[in-house]
């Protein structure tokens, strides 16, 4: 039911509430999500869609994709076998299939097909982060928590701790409203927000010692407080050092798992979201081979993607079309060892024969045209 609901939502472009209403009215959708008979009541509450998205990990989605691809490959092979049988019957013979190679006790099939691989960053739905705006949002979250906690211990604690929220807001807007503020103004505003945040965190500790609950403003506010504490620690380190980078940098309070991914693109040097490696086979099937919110070098995935192709088809691909970052010496040696042609120019000096040089250039351009398919899949997915 969870997977079917997510597929319907993605294919029809519905909100959670619209999905439930459509399912109530449509018997086909109810059959698709696994109900045995038509019912007039809603099969689940719209808020359950949040848990459906959380409870389906990457392994479950990949397993469903593998089953669909396995069924599609069986259909393709059955159709090809039927076509070959018809040709043999009509002509009284046919071309012999390439013989399998015998290596030791194992029988290996010759390389066939093509594999297109690439990596990209999936954009997350967050505001473009800056240190100043993150600290301002964190300060406002601590102020809400202080208000809720103080109401619990008003009699024993006394007056509510000072937060200077109006002054802090004015200091933030004085820089945020400028089109191109100077770097020294930005750093001064960051130090000011850090000072307000440190005072608020000290007040929260004092309220906790007096008996107030950290869950006074709800579980979501408490989870944000944990992220705010880590954000203050990181910003303190960046403020006291010359470096502008730090491991596991927080760029969103509501989605603390998102990391900046440096892509080096002309339009956008840094993107925010999960980095994925995908592969597209010659039949058009797409696989998600790796998903990580931490940056990594996609060139390391070529061997695993080639072995995954062999696991699904029983043989390695004849050619792998990839961009320059995949053409490392280790990947070239792996492809040479298994009889795979890796797209791109070969190492060493160019050939002196103009005909061979023109043939290599033509082959390279042809591989680049084939690689457009994986770029199209990335755009389609985004």
Radius of gyration of the CA atoms of the chain, in A: 29
Q: Are residues 180 and 139 in the same domain?
A: yes
Report the pLDDT averaged over residues 150-174.
Answer: 92
The single residue listed with the structure tokens 């060139």 is: 299
User: What is the predicted pLDDT for the residue at 345?
Assistant: 85
119 domain-assigned: no
Mark which of 240, 268, 286 sits at the end of a domain.
240
CB-CB contact of 120 with 264 (8 Å): no
158 domain-assigned: yes
What is the DSSP annotation of 235-296? HHHHHHSS----TT----SS-TT--EEE---SS-SEEEEEEEEEEEETTS-EEEEEEESS--
Q: Are residues 143 and 193 in the same domain?
A: yes
CA 18, CA 28: separation in Å to the nearest integer? Answer: 16
Residue 329 structure tokens: 């010496």
CA 303, CA 308: separation in Å to the nearest integer? Answer: 9
The Cβ-side half-sphere exposure at 297, using a 13 Å CA radius, reads 9
Domain residues for 359? 260-381
Let me know how long the chain is. 382
Q: Are residues 289 and 236 in the same domain?
A: no
pLDDT at 107 over 60: no
The alpha helices in the chain, defined as continuous H runs, are 2-12, 16-25, 27-32, 48-55, 58-91, 131-150, 154-157, 165-176, 183-209, 219-240, 302-313, 329-337, 354-381
Percent of the chain beyond pLDDT 70? 95
User: What is the predicted pLDDT for the residue at 101?
Assistant: 57
278 domain-assigned: yes
30 domain-assigned: yes
Q: Are residues 219 and 307 in the same domain?
A: no
91 domain-assigned: no
96 domain-assigned: no
175 domain-assigned: yes
pLDDT in tens, 230-274: 999 999 999 888 888 888 899 999 899 999 988 877 777 888 999
pLDDT in tens, 54-74: 777 778 888 888 888 889 888
Kindly report the average pLDDT of the chain as a whole number: 88
CA 253, CA 144: separation in Å to the nearest integer? Answer: 15
User: What is the predicted pLDDT for the residue at 127?
Assistant: 86
CA 304, CA 310: separation in Å to the nearest integer? Answer: 10
Helix/strand/coil for 262: strand
Q: Are residues 169 and 264 in the same domain?
A: no
Q: 319-321 and 114-123 as β-strands: parallel, antiparallel, unpaired?
A: parallel
93 confidence band (pLDDT: 50, 70, 90)? low
Residue 328 structure tokens: 């490392």
- Distant-in-sequence, close-in-space partners of 375: CB < 8 Å, separation ≥ 6: 118
User: What is the predicted pLDDT for the residue at 105?
Assistant: 46
Mark which of 212, 240, 268 sits at the end of a domain.
240
15 domain-assigned: yes
Helix/strand/coil for 187: helix
Within 10 Å of residue 302's Cβ, how many Cβ atoms?
27
Q: Are residues 193 and 282 in the same domain?
A: no
Q: Are residues 144 and 189 in the same domain?
A: yes
Q: Are residues 236 and 264 in the same domain?
A: no
Q: Are residues 139 and 235 in the same domain?
A: yes
Q: Are residues 214 and 264 in the same domain?
A: no
Number of domains in the chain: 3
Q: Are residues 136 and 43 in the same domain?
A: no
Q: Are residues 273 and 206 in the same domain?
A: no
Mark which of 240, 271, 287 sits at the end of a domain.
240
CA 141, CA 324: separation in Å to the nearest integer? Answer: 45
The answer to which of 139-143, 249-253, 316-320, 346-350 has the lowest mean pLDDT is 346-350
CA 245, CA 232: separation in Å to the nearest integer? Answer: 14
């Amino acid at each position: 039911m969870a997977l079917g609901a997510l597929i319907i939502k993605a294919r029809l472009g519905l909100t959670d509430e619209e999905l439930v209403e459509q399912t109530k009215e449509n018997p086909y959708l109810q059959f698709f999500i696994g109900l045995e008979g038509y019912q007039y009541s809603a099969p689940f509450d719209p808020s359950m869609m949040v848990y459906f998205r959380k409870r389906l990990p990457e392994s479950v989605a990949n397993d469903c994709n593998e089953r669909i691809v396995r069924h599609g490959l069986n259909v393709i092979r059955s159709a090809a076998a039927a076509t070959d049988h018809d040709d043999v019957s009509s002509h009284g013979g046919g071309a012999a299939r390439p013989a399998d190679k015998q290596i030791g006790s194992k029988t290996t099939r010759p390389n066939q097909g093509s594999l297109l691989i690439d990596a990209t960053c999936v954009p997350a739905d967050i505001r473009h982060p800056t240190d100043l705006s993150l600290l301002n949002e964190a300060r406002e979250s601590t102020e809400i928590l202080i208000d809720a906690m103080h109401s619990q211990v008003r009699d024993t604690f006394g007056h509510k701790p000072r937060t200077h929220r109006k002054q802090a807001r004015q200091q933030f807007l004085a820089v945020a409203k400028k089109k191109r503020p100077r770097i020294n103004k930005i750093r001064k505003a960051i130090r000011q927000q850090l000072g307000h945040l440190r005072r608020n965190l000290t007040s929260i500790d004092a309220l906790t010692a007096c008996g107030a609950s950290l869950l006074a403003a709800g579980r979501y506010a408490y989870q944000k407080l944990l992220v705010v504490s880590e954000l203050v620690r990181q910003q303190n380190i960046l403020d006291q050092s010359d470096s502008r980078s730090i491991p596991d940098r927080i760029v969103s309070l509501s989605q603390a798992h998102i990391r900046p991914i440096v892509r080096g693109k002309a339009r956008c040097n840094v993107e925010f979201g999960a980095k994925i490696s995908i592969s597209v086979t010659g039949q058009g099937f797409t696989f998600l081979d790796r998903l990580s919110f931490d940056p990594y070098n996609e060139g390391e995935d070529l061997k695993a993607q080639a072995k995954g192709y062999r696991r699904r088809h029983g043989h390695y691909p004849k050619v792998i079309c990839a961009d320059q970052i995949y053409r490392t010496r280790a990947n070239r040696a792996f492809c040479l060892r298994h009889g795979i042609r890796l797209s791109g120019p070969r190492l060493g000096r160019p050939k002196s024969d103009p005909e061979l040089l023109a043939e290599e250039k033509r082959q390279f351009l042809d591989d680049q045209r084939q690689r457009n398919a994986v770029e199209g899949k990335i755009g389609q997915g985004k």
